[in-house]
Amino acid sequence: MQLDPFQQEAIGWIQGNYSVLVSAPTGTGKTLVADYLIESMAAQGRRVVYTAPVKALSNQKYKEFKRLLGPDKVGILTGDVVINPDAPILIMTTEIFRNLLHQDPARVAEVAYCIFDEIHYIDDPARGSVWEESLIFMPPHMRFLGLSATIPNVDELAAWLTQVHGHPVKVVYHPDRAVPLTHYMYEVTAGITTFRRLEQRYRRYAERLKMRNNGRLRLDFPRTTHVDLVEEIRRRYLPCLFFTFSRRQCELNGAELGQHFDFLTRKEKQQVKEVIDKHLERWSGGTIPRLGSLTRLLLKGIGYHHAGLLAIVKDIVEDLFEQRLIRVLYCTETFAVGLNFPCRSVCFDSVTKWDGESFRPLTNREYFQMAGRAGRRGIDERGYVFTLVDFNRFVPDEYPSMQEQDVEPLRSRFALSYNSVLNLVRSYSNDEIRNILRKNFATYQAERERERLAEALDKARARLEQLERAGDGKQRRQAAKRVRALERQLAEVPPGERFIDEFEAKRRVLEELDFIRGDTLTARGEFAARINIQELLVTELVFAGYFHQLDPDQLNALAVSIDYEPRRSEGRHPHNGFDVAAVQAHVRAIEDVERRLVGVTSVRFQDHMAALAYRWSRGEAFSRLLQGAHQDEGDIVYAFRRGIDLLRQVRFAASEDPILRSKLQECMDRMDRDEVAIVL
């Protein structure tokens, strides 16, 4: 295979034992560099860690490398799955890698390289801090390979990491796509067109409507649907990924399209049946919700994919799409993370999405993360991206620029968890902690911004002084306005000490809750330092005796409720699994201390799924569980596996309590069965 120049360059730096950042568009072959590194290290008998942002990608990579290198060479650690943990090639989530650096550094002491797949996740609001801590706490001898989509400030990221690690970080920047993208809009009266032409058409129509309605704009345009768009592109642009930011809408759209189209030949339908049968052979025989109705669509070359489906259903859909037996796949954003399934075109049914708090427009980076799936290397000369526009809901300012040079730069999301504070106090002196807290990317970016603004302010003040001696009034006013604007911007740059202040505030919380006394961790603190899910609440409940008093089924109901975040409008199942009021008293006590000393609370506890976890733990069939359930089957499995993850952490922390450890193992065994078990 002929390597691209950027791949050759990256491999050359790895051979020279450098840390490397590879920034290149989706589909250009970044992962080939990681594959080379892993095979090279395996041949040399050296250890490598491969971290990924999501468990699905970790599981995929584990299966891939196990086939390539053999089961003895590869292991996986994702919190809820542990296989061959002492293998030379370890696949894990970034959270697990960060936890090992804090809690068990000897486990990774001999690792030569760590691969950070999707390193641009450093900008993820909820989890980006994990990437920063992992990079900051890596031992000096360890090198890393960071793989990223195109980011404009990759040099800034490399400069920060060079400063943190004390050795050069090499940048391999490859902005060119292997298959160029062409971006179009689609509206039913305009057909396939450009954004500029569409906006002009919309304004002309709007003016006519105003005149017709005596100056009032009453929107009454012909409606544009996904079926219209598929009808338009079906002859030239399939297969396509149709991004739809609602699970229910994915399914409804798939069903609606199935009423109009059948894309497969008789031979292809037979191939679809064979793929489904092959996957069902490894299934344990439990129920598979939605597979029946989905199969009817799959036999027409239509599918849907989202996080609410069982893993086997997603596997079937992914396999069929990879074999080009699905022509139109409706999917949510999760399909764009890590999974490498290119196609001829990508469609968007909207440019806004729900981010957990509100509907907001897509960022340019999010748009290109998904749009970048268009165009198959070696098959398509171009990839095509179509955005569906309904003039009745058209807001031009919401649309991404569709220019890759406008992708937003990475921003630090560094935030201190209580677990981080505990591990810092446990391992470092106060002076060392202050130095570490100045090493994060947020502080580096703030210092660079402060330097840039200060330099600009000096020049602006000098210009103002010059104009005050000789210059007209208009120029002086403009110069003075520029000085005031720069002074305001400089004042808004976050102070360099802010993370030290945050550390001290959270340390006071831990002191008040008796996790820290002086510079020493108490028994509570030592326990919490090993917990990474709601460490304050979990520790309080363990030390209050709940994990000892409750039976395994009650304990599973409790574990699934800790850190659970219900979806919008999700109903709650009443239950008697455990005393909710007693647990809520501990929740409120922690919240009160946090709000008083930090200003916000981090505690999350919702028992919406406690009844389901209790019944599952007692051996109930999954099909019975789903009757009347408010949640999707994929969400139920995810919550149960997260409960297993939490129980595993508590079991690790309770190393000196064999009775509790035995009970927790029984809890996990009761949950980790049938539809909830992961087959790798």
Instruction: Looking at the structure, tell me whether residues 294 and 341 fall in a common domain.
Output: yes
| Pair 140, 9 in one domain | yes
What CATH number should be reported for the domain holding residue 622? 1.10.3380.30
Asked whether the predicted pLDDT for residue 212 surpasses 70, the reply is no
Residue holding tokens 């990221």?
Answer: 157
320 phi and psi, to 5 degrees?
Answer: -65, -40
| CB 646 within 8 Å of CB 538 | yes
Q: Is residue 161 part of a domain?
A: yes
Q: What confidence score (pLDDT) does residue 284 get?
A: 67
For residues 541 and 596, membership in a common domain is answered with yes
What is 405-450 written as a DSSP string?
GGPPPP-------HHHHHHHHHHS-HHHHHHHHTSSHHHHHHHHHH
Q: DSSP string covering 287-353, please? A: --TTHHHHHHHHTTTEEEE-TTS-HHHHHHHHHHHHTT--SEEEE-GGGGSS----BSEEEES-SEE
Q: Which amino acid is at 35?
A: D
Same domain (yes/no): 343, 484 = no
CA nearest neighbour of 76 among 60, 454, 505, 67: 60
Q: Using one digit for the tens of pLDDT, what is the confidence trace for 357-396?
A: 778 999 999 999 899 999 988 889 999 999 999 988 888 8
Tell me the CATH number at 124.
Answer: 3.40.50.300
- pLDDT recorded at residue 178: 86
Q: Yes or no: say if 286 and 622 are a contact pair by the CB < 8 Å rule.
A: yes
Do 354 and 250 share a domain, yes or no? Answer: yes
Q: Which two three-digit tokens encode residue 290?
A: 């939605």
pLDDT digits (tens, 9 = 90+) for 289-333: 889 899 999 999 999 999 999 989 999 999 999 999 999 999 998
Q: Which residue, among 388, 399, 300, has the nearest Cα to 345 in the 3D structure? A: 388
517 is a domain residue: yes
Burial pattern 184-200, b for ≥16 Cβ within 10 A else e, equals bbbbbebeebebeebbe
Interaxial angle between packed helices 247-258 and 291-298, expressed in degrees from 0 to 180 and rounded to the nearest 10:
50
Tell me, yes or no, whether 15 and 64 share the same domain. Answer: yes
In this model, does residue 123 exceed pLDDT 60? yes
Band (pLDDT 50/70/90 cuts) for residue 282 is confident
Q: Does 429 reside within a domain?
A: no
At 282, the amino acid letter reads R
Task: Tell me the average pLDDT across 557-563.
Answer: 97
H helices, E strands: number in the chain:
27, 19
Instruction: Calculate the alpha carbon distances from 423 to 418, 419, 496, 593 in Å.
Output: 9, 6, 22, 21
Same domain, 85 and 224: no
Q: What is the dihedral of CA 98, 99, 102, 104, to 10 degrees?
A: -120
In a shared domain, residues 195 and 244 = yes
Residue 412 falls inside a structural domain: no
Is residue 109 located within the same domain as residue 39? yes
Comparison of pLDDT for 220 and 612, the residue scoring more: 612
CA distances (Å), 60 to each of 41, 50, 93, 275, 334, in order?
20, 12, 12, 18, 14
| pLDDT digit string, tens, across residues 472-522 | 778 888 889 999 999 999 999 988 789 999 999 999 999 999 999 999 999
Which residues are CB-contacts of 216 (< 8 A; sequence separation ≥ 6)? 210
Q: What's the pLDDT tens digit per position in 145-188?
A: 999 987 899 999 999 999 999 999 999 999 888 899 999 999 99
Q: Based on the domain organization, do 645 and 544 belong to the same domain?
A: yes
Question: Do β-strands 111-116 and 143-148 pair in parallel, antiparallel, or remain unpaired?
Answer: parallel
Q: What would the pLDDT profile of 443-467 be if each residue is shown by its tens digit? A: 999 999 999 999 999 999 998 888 8
Do 253 and 242 meet the contact criterion of CB atoms below 8 Å apart?
A: yes
% the chain with pLDDT above 70: 97
Give residue 378's domain range.
Answer: 181-406
551-580 as b/e, with b when 16 or more CB fall inside 10 Å?
Answer: ebbbbbbbbbbbbbebeeeeeebebebbeb
Q: How buried is 548 (Cβ within 10 angstroms: 0-12 exposed, 13-18 middle, 19+ buried)?
A: middle
Tokens representing 148 are: 């990223």
Per-residue tokens: 645:
């993850």
Q: What is the mean pLDDT of residues 248-272?
A: 97
Query: 341 falls in which pLDDT band (50, 70, 90)?
Result: confident
Q: Calculate the CA 618 to chain-centre distance.
A: 33
- The tokens of 560 are what? 């699934």
Among 173, 197, 216, the domain boundary falls at 173
Q: What is the pLDDT of residues 536-551, one digit of tens each?
A: 999 999 999 999 999 9
Residue 432 falls inside a structural domain: no
- CA dihedral (299, 303, 308, 314) in degrees, to 10, reads 70
First-to-final CA distance of the chain? 29
pLDDT tens per residue across span 649-676: 999 999 999 999 999 999 999 999 988 9
Non-local CB neighbours of 557 within 8 Å, separated by 6+ positions: 575, 577, 578, 607, 610, 611, 613, 614, 617
pLDDT at 209 over 90: no
Domain boundary among 450, 471, 496: 496
> What is the value of pTM for the model shown?
0.91
Three-state DSSP at 646 gives helix
Count of domains observed in the chain: 4
With respect to residue 398, please indicate whether it lies within any of the assigned structural domains: yes
Cβ-contact 99, 648 below 8 angstroms: no
Per-residue pLDDT, 363:
92
Q: Which of 202, 149, 183, 172 is nearest to 27 (CA)?
A: 149
Q: What is the mean pLDDT of residues 409-419?
A: 94
The residues near 186 (Cβ < 8 Å, ≥ 6 apart) are: 192, 193, 224, 228, 229, 232, 386, 387, 388, 389
Residues 286 and 402 in one domain: yes
The whole-angstrom separation of Cα 219 and Cα 216 is 9
Who has greater pLDDT, 87 or 335? 87
In this prediction, residue 468 carries a pLDDT of 82
Residue 158 lies in a domain: yes
Residue 242: inside a domain, yes or no? Answer: yes
- Using the structure block, give the residue that is written with the tokens 């990839």: 383
Residue 214 has pLDDT above 60, yes or no: no
- Strand bridging mode 328-331 / 359-361: unpaired
| 131 pLDDT more than 80 | yes
Domain boundary among 145, 173, 201: 173
Mean pLDDT rounded to a whole number for the chain? 92
Quick one: tokens of 348? 């968007």
612 and 672 fall within a common domain: yes
Residues in the chain: 680
